[in-house]
Amino acid sequence: MTKAEKIDFTLQTLERLYPETPVPLDHKDPFTLLVAVVLSAQCTDERVNQITPKLFAVADNPYDMAKLTVEEIAAIIRPCGLVPMKSKGIHAFSNTIVEKYDGKVPASFEALEAMPSVGHKTASVVMSQAFGVPAFPVDTHIHRLMYRWGFTNGKSVEQTERDAKRLFPRELWNKLHLQIIFYGREYSPARGWDLEKDLITKTIGRKSEIAKWEKEQLARLKKKSKGKSS
């Protein structure tokens, strides 16, 4: 297959599997999404969705969040991990939104990334999912799959994002990044990966990744066979 054919196959497969792409993090507006995305760092979406109702019952807007102490925020979000950084960040950017933006989350990459605890990936998620601005947030799933599929060299998430934006049509970015995440979780995880179930990688994947998987399977078979014979 040519690179263009591989891209077309990938897009068609993802669209067939995931015609609908609900936002994984529960939220009601840009502010609650911003908080949820910050909480999701090194934490599963499922756990974040368990914690945010408790947090938002107390403060679901920047005015109320800014009135809480860092310690009060920390006590609620503790199960999400990285508590000191996240609680300080949420408190600080809530104050920034109140003081600089009249209580409204700014709809610009520059303004978002200037706020505490808001990096480029977080800003990209908010811009794409809250404001509908084309963006391509790269998480671990996207970084892994873009490499497995031979669409990037995998050296950095920044490079992966540049390659994704170069290869895929801009109008597809907001839906596509979610489709890739869903696919990665279901068919091409980091652990317990089964190439036989991973149609895209099996069809167009990087040869070295496929060979690596086959080598691991062979090693497992040998170990299993050795265990039976001993």
pLDDT tens digit string along 199-209? 999 999 999 99
Asked if residue 40 belongs to a domain, the reply is yes
The model's pLDDT over 165-220, given as tens digits with 9 standing for 90+, comes to 999 999 999 999 999 999 999 999 999 999 999 999 999 999 999 999 999 999 88
> Is 139 in the active site?
yes
φ/ψ of 136, rounded to 5, equals -135, 75
> Band of the pLDDT at 155, cuts 50, 70, 90?
confident
86, 121, 163, 198: the active-site residue? 121
3-state secondary structure of 135: coil
Given 139, 165, 175, 202, the catalytic residue = 139
Q: Give the number of domains in the chain.
A: 1
Q: In this structure, what CATH number is given to the domain that contains residue 59?
A: 1.10.340.30
Query: What is the domain extent for residue 98?
Result: 30-129
pTM of the prediction?
0.90
Whether 148 is in a domain gets the answer: no
